[in-house]
């Protein structure tokens, strides 16, 4: 496995008109399934953990599993902290071996978001770690389902200011995308995205990839989106197939077989996401 910074992966995607899919993980089978599918598809991937997922074991544990499982595979990957809630989260994950971190200050006033991101960038840049920032809220709920107090779309001029004043490596934006499952067909605001990419000359990140129609997703990629996050769709496939397996095998007590049934279903979704991001055969 070639363990990279996220910046390395996104720069190539940004130049060549595709996106790198980022998949949330919290256990061994999640990591195995993503790496196996990535190797089969010859696709670069980002393995990421929300700060709660990282702390479920520890950042060091996440990194150790990725390295151990990736050692025997031909795959190019980054390990990323998703939605770090505080400066301390980014420090813990950098110390644990993550190759990129996200600080999410989107609920803060712009000046405070910028000030905190500068601090994160100074720390991360010293050790060659990529930083993702966010401005705008991804739907009305956080990535773990909490209702957001402050809901707003990304303002292009504020996006430019955040990018310029922090020198982040990539920027997550809100253009009609949302975390979790969409209650109605999503419609991305391409006019807003165009205004953002006219002003912000770094890779753009689209959270809430679950449920965005392929044509809209690929149009956004053509406009500068270089990273797309997927989480809910993977978890749903994993759990649904695991339930089905247990219903058909009620006496099964092999945890390996039960968990593997979920992993195999999840791999199908990973392959689909790779194809939507147009990154098959990019490694």
59 C-beta neighbours (distance < 10 Å), count: 23
| Extended strands (E) in the chain | 2-3, 20-24, 45-50, 76-84, 100-103, 130-135, 170-173, 204-206, 225-230
Rounded distance between C-alpha atoms, residue 8 and residue 77, angstroms:
10
Closest CA to 283 of 29, 28, 39: 39
The residues that are catalytic are: 82
Please tell me the distance from the alpha carbon of residue 55 to that of residue 48, in angstroms, as a whole number: 12
d(CA 144, CA 52): 9
Which tokens go with 22? 């980022």
Q: Give the tokens for residue 25.
A: 């993980």
């Amino acid at each position: 496995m070639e363990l990279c910074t996220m910046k390395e992966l996104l720069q190539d995607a940004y130049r060549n008109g595709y996106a790198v899919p980022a998949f949330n993980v919290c256990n061994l089978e999640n990591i195995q399934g993503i790496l196996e599918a990535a190797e089969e598809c010859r696709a670069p991937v980002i393995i990421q953990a929300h700060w709660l997922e990282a702390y479920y074991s520890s950042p060091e544990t996440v990194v150790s599993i990725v390295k151990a499982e990736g050692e025997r595979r031909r795959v190019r990957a980054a390990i990323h902290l998703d939605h770090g809630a505080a400066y301390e989260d980014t420090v813990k994950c950098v110390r644990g071996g993550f190759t990129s971190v996200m600080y999410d200050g989107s609920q803060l006033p712009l000046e405070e978001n910028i000030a905190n991101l500068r601090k994160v960038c100074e720390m991360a840049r010293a050790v060659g770690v990529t930083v993702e920032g966010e401005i705008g809220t991804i739907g009305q709920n956080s990535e773990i389902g909490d209702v957001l107090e402050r809901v707003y779309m990304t303002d292009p001029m504020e996006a430019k200011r955040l990018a310029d004043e922090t020198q982040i490596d990539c920027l997550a934006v809100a253009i009609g995308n949302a975390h979790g499952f969409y209650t109605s067909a999503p419609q991305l605001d391409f006019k807003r995205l165009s205004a953002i990419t006219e002003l912000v000359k770094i890779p753009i990140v689209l959270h809430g990839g679950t449920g965005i129609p392929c044509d809209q997703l690929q149009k956004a990629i053509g406009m500068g989106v270089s990273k797309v996050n997927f989480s809910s769709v993977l978890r749903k496939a994993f759990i649904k197939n695991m339930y089905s397996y247990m219903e058909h095998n009620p006496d099964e007590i092999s945890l390996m077989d039960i968990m593997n049934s979920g992993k195999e279903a999840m791999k199908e979704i990973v392959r689909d996401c790779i194809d939507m991001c147009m990154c098959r055969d990019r490694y």
